[in-house]
Chain A
Amino acid sequence: MNPHPHENPDLTAYSLGELDAQHAAQVHGLLRISPTAASEMEQIEAVAQALSQTAPVPVDRLHPAQRRAVLNPAQMPRMMAPLMPRPMPARRRSAWPVLAGMMKAAAVIALSLAGYWVGRHSDWMSSAPSIAVDDASIKGVPSVENPPLVAATTEPQLELAKPAPVEMPVTPDEEVKPVEIVIVEEKAAPPAAVEVAAASPATDQSATEPVVLVESPPNTPAAPAPVVRALTRPAAGTAFVSTTRQAVSQFALRPADIRPAPPQPAPGQTFAAPMTARPEVRDEAKPPRAPELYIHSWKADVAVCPWNPAHRLMRVVIQLPADQPAATQSFSYPLHVAFDPNNVREYRQLCERHLPAGELRSAGTHSLWYEYLPNGKSEPGKNVATITLPQGRFTTQTVGPFDGSKLSVTERGLDWRSAREDFIFDTAVVGFGLLLRGVNQSPALNHQLVLTLAEKTLDSDSTGERRRFVRQVREAKAAAGL
């Protein structure tokens, strides 16, 4: 107990009746022997008495409507909804040890795999010269007249051809810089890497000749499309998310990505500059305000997932005009995809894709792909998700949703076979992406299913893009030994 009466909280507690018997007896003894403490106690009691006697009496009550809502909450489902999905703390505590164990096991497996992968790749890099010299196939070939040149030129080909489990496209810029390149016409259509592997044992033919590397002619369909610059981003997290824990998927939409790239001047070409451009002066006190984002239209498609009939695939496509101020600056705009917890149990984002505008006056496209598991029996007409783009404005009132910046996605019970061709083809592309990334998915998703999906859409392949995709999937399937 603090002996100084002015700094002794026990005096206040004593006057308010908050002390237990032992402490109260001590304070009582102090008051008997200390006039200062007794005087202090009198003043405390005077203030406490004033507070008690003049305390305002609360008189405000709830409004009748609020009272009804409190006493009959079952009649107010809209008010109850935000409070329902709260997590139960006890359940979370019980699940934590299991989750922690699983996370540790996953970390150990991931580290082991990473170590194996790094070790394997370091073997390739470090043993490449010895492979070129000691490999049985190399020993079996007749001796060459110019060994140093052959050894130097065959190494990169062996590195590429032997160990790759998945086909890697061979580009002349990367591989053939140290050697002379002769481009020949491709007779059949085998993969480039396979052709190189077949040619590598026959180095006796090219002992004194430059190495021949097969390359597809530039006008064949196998060449990548030079105009369309597709920026496809896989989703950050590929695990399913329960809608009771996180019903809203939010990310940033960057209109600058859909603007076509400016033409690059030829090397050595310079342009006259009549006057130097003035640097833009910005007010440091006020951050620049994001320009409004204009949208041509947006739509959402939902269909049964081809590799998991219990799941659904959802695609959201937004058309953004490229000639708007938002496309020239690096602002980003929040886009919310809020899944209805009543109708969707869990979901995951599969990928996000930007298709830049072909030219300045056209529109670029931004696509989102989700896979979700319906909650209970899936029935047509149920609301699946609500997509909002708070700062979005539509360029035409007759296109797109009419309720401000909100797009409601409903379940239609559509089978993927009945979906539009572009949806089916995009589904094939997304499925192929999942295969390449090794994301956990149904075992029904394989190269054959991707091919089946893509081949159904070949009838309306105006640009040849779909046939190129089918060929690449076939090559990947062959390279994987399937």
Chain B
Amino acid sequence: MPVQPNPDEASLLVRRALDLHESALIAYSAGILNGDVERAREVVQDSLLKLYLTEPAKVQDNLKAWLYTVCRNRALDILRKDQRLDLGNEDALGLAASFDPDPSEHADSHEMHARVWELVEKLRPNQREVIRLKFMHDCSYQEIAEVTGLSTGNVGFIMHTAIKKLRQMMQRELATRERTPTPS
């Protein structure tokens, strides 16, 4: 006979998850779902309903990682059903290699900082995901490892590679702008 979770306790946990992580989970799911916020909302709703059916003692200690994991799996399921899951990300690599900024756009390094999240979109999916989890959702390496199913060492390596790649892209863009003559 399966043990049913205490509804009061589960409700409190769901309310806590809503208060703390609602918007962050929607943003994270939308990032996986290619920016589809409506489907991201459905993913978060499903995940919170699943949380309601789960025994609170099993998840309340690592609620954040649990929520991100469930949302990630649900979003990936949707992508697989749509057959839009792109694990190789060859297109994104091509875009990153052939990135050519608008010459009419002038920006200093301060503006480049503002554009760094646009460059994040050109990273590989796994790099993009660890960057988002770290800097948008404030997850530790351990939490990222739990969410993505990777080892902590692997997360560190992907993070290092992603930051190095971002740095190269920023330097290349800055160099391109410096070579471009400024209209007087």
Determine the chain A residues whose CB is within 8 A of the CB of B134 once the complex forms.
16, 51
Contact A11–B41 (Cβ < 8 Å): no
Chain A proximity mask over B38-63: 1 for CB below 8 Å, otherwise 0: 00111011001110110000000000
Determine the chain A residues whose CB is within 8 A of the CB of B68 once the complex forms.
none
DSSP class of B's interface residues: helix, strand, loop or mixed? Answer: helix
The residue from B49, B112, B116, B157 contacting A9, defined by CB atoms under 8 A apart: B157
Contact A18–B140 (Cβ < 8 Å): yes
Contact A13–B45 (Cβ < 8 Å): no
Contact A55–B117 (Cβ < 8 Å): yes
Contact B45–A60 (Cβ < 8 Å): no
Interface check A278, CB cutoff 8 A: no
Contact B48–A88 (Cβ < 8 Å): no
Chain B proximity mask over A327-351: 1 for CB below 8 Å, otherwise 0: 0000000000000000000000000
A143 to chain B, nearest CB (A): 77
Instruction: Spot the interface stretch: B20-28, B78-86, B100-108.
Output: B20-28
Residues of B in contact with A, size category: 35 or more
Q: In the complex, what residue of chain A is closest to B2 when comparing beta carbons?
A: A88
Interface check A164, CB cutoff 8 A: no
Contact A69–B45 (Cβ < 8 Å): yes
Contact A18–B141 (Cβ < 8 Å): yes
Determine the chain B residues whose CB is within 8 A of the CB of A50 once the complex forms.
112-113, 116
Scan residues 37-89 of chain A and give those whose CB is less than 8 A from a CB of chain B: 43-44, 46-56, 58-63, 66-67, 69-71, 73-74, 79-80, 83-84, 86, 88
Contact A71–B15 (Cβ < 8 Å): yes
Interface check A91, CB cutoff 8 A: yes
A26 to chain B, nearest CB (A): 14
For the complex, give the distance between the alpha carbons of A71 and B48 in Å: 9
| Residues of chain A at interface, number, CB under 8 A | 42
Taking A6-B164, A91-B2 as contacts, is the C-beta distance between A58 and B113 under 8 angstroms? Answer: no
Interface check B156, CB cutoff 8 A: yes
Contact A56–B117 (Cβ < 8 Å): yes
Interface check A12, CB cutoff 8 A: yes
B10 to chain A, nearest CB (A): 9
Interface check B65, CB cutoff 8 A: no
Contact A71–B18 (Cβ < 8 Å): yes
Contact B163–A62 (Cβ < 8 Å): no
Q: In the complex, what residue of chain A is closest to B10 when comparing beta carbons?
A: A73
The residue from A47, A49, A60, A71 contacting B40, defined by CB atoms under 8 A apart: A60
B173 to chain A, nearest CB (A): 13
Contact B160–A11 (Cβ < 8 Å): yes
Contact B22–A62 (Cβ < 8 Å): yes
Determine the chain B residues whose CB is within 8 A of the CB of A44 once the complex forms.
163-164, 167
B5 to chain A, nearest CB (A): 11
Q: In the complex, what residue of chain B is closest to A11 when comparing beta carbons?
A: B160
Contact B48–A70 (Cβ < 8 Å): yes
For the complex, give the distance between the alpha carbons of A84 and B156 in Å: 38
B77 to chain A, nearest CB (A): 13
For the complex, give the distance between the alpha carbons of A6 and B24 in Å: 32
Contact B160–A60 (Cβ < 8 Å): no
A86 to chain B, nearest CB (A): 8
A119 to chain B, nearest CB (A): 47
A64 to chain B, nearest CB (A): 11
Contact A66–B113 (Cβ < 8 Å): no
Q: In the complex, what residue of chain B is closest to A10 when comparing beta carbons?
A: B156
B6 to chain A, nearest CB (A): 13
Interface check B30, CB cutoff 8 A: yes
Interface check B11, CB cutoff 8 A: yes
Taking A60-B23, A62-B22, A83-B50 as contacts, is the C-beta distance between A48 and B37 under 8 angstroms? Answer: no
Contact B37–A60 (Cβ < 8 Å): yes
Scan residues 351-387 of chain A and give those whose CB is less than 8 A from a CB of chain B: none
Interface check B75, CB cutoff 8 A: no
Determine the chain A residues whose CB is within 8 A of the CB of B117 once the complex forms.
51, 54-56
B47 to chain A, nearest CB (A): 9
Contact B116–A54 (Cβ < 8 Å): yes
Contact A58–B27 (Cβ < 8 Å): yes
Determine the chain B residues whose CB is within 8 A of the CB of A84 once the complex forms.
53
Determine the chain A residues whose CB is within 8 A of the CB of B32 once the complex forms.
none
The residue from B45, B52, B153, B170 contacting A47, defined by CB atoms under 8 A apart: B170
Determine the chain B residues whose CB is within 8 A of the CB of A91 once the complex forms.
2
Contact B160–A47 (Cβ < 8 Å): no
Interface check B166, CB cutoff 8 A: yes
The residue from A10, A12, A59, A60 contacting B163, defined by CB atoms under 8 A apart: A12
B43 to chain A, nearest CB (A): 11
Scan residues 105-143 of chain B and give those whose CB is less than 8 A from a CB of chain A: 112-114, 116-117, 120, 131, 134-136, 140-141
Can you list 9 A-B pairs with a CB-CB distance of less than 8 A? A12-B156, A16-B159, A49-B113, A51-B120, A51-B131, A51-B166, A66-B45, A71-B15, A80-B53
Given contacts A51-B117, A66-B45, 20 further A-B contacts (CB under 8 A): A8-B160, A13-B141, A13-B156, A16-B141, A18-B141, A18-B156, A44-B164, A51-B131, A51-B134, A54-B114, A55-B136, A58-B26, A58-B28, A60-B40, A61-B23, A66-B41, A70-B14, A73-B52, A74-B7, A83-B53
A binding-site residues for B, Cβ under 8 Å: 6, 8-13, 16, 18, 43-44, 46-56, 58-63, 66-67, 69-71, 73-74, 79-80, 83-84, 86, 88, 91
